Amino acid sequence: MAVSEKKGNMDASTEERIKAAARTVFTKKGYQATKVRDIAAEADINLSLVNYYFRSKEKLFQFVMAEIVEKLITTVTLILNNEQLSVQQKVEQVANHYINLLLVNPDFPLFMVNEIFAGTDELLKDNRKNAIFQSHFFKQLAALHKEGKLSIQPIQLMMNLIGFVVMPFLARPLLERNKVVKPGEFTALMEERRMLIPIWIKGMLK
């Protein structure tokens, strides 16, 4: 495809290849250490094409970050603020959503961890923080805590829920390299885990 081609005729598959390559390289190297040429090499396309589609590393990073945050946050905030669901139902749906998402996108957790430690606050930018930490779910947990039916602070339960889902994906490369988990076993373990997480969370409630 010629670089001079009009934007209206942009090849969606080429754009997706660039974004997929960017996710891979940003995950491995982080934003600061990544060069546009690294992304072009990963996508196996000409450097000028990357610049044509996204203009700069910063714009490409913004596209990738926005895509990841959208997938990680939007559906979950809808679940947390659904007043028709019980605490247990919300835990089950959040666990299911994240396990499904991360099985398809296993690089997301490492990508976000790298960027959080690099100083990125995109996950809790704008109204996202309030949508989560002032959600109906947190109000339910606060009521349970006040009634003595939850012995820990609501934030502790939320951190446990996130840790139960995310930590296995961060540990997966180490476990598989050292043959603690054999190839093909991880998905089965996560399928089992999606049933266990609600049980573990329920155990924190009196």
Give me the half-sphere count of Cα atoms (radius 13 Å) on the Cβ side of residue 34. 24
The rounded average pLDDT for each run of 10 residues, N- to C-terminus, in the chain (206 residues) is 43 84 87 90 90 87 84 90 96 96 89 82 74 92 94 93 95 93 92 96 89
Rounded Cα distance, 124 and 131, in Å: 9
pLDDT, residue 7, reads: 45
In the three-class reduction of DSSP (H, G, I as helix; E, B as strand; rest coil), residue 26 is classed as: helix
Rounded Cα distance, 177 and 194, in Å: 24
Residue 45, both tokens: 């396309």
Rounded Cα distance, 51 and 40, in Å: 9
Q: Which amino acid, one-letter code, is at 129?
A: K
Residue 109, both tokens: 């957790």
By the 8 A CB rule, do 139 and 154 touch?
Answer: no
pTM: 0.80
pLDDT, residue 160, reads: 95
Nearest by Cα to 82 from 69, 94, 68, 70: 94
N-terminal to C-terminal alpha carbon distance within the chain: 62
Per residue in 157-173, pLDDT (tens digit) is 999 999 999 999 999 99
pLDDT, residue 193, reads: 96
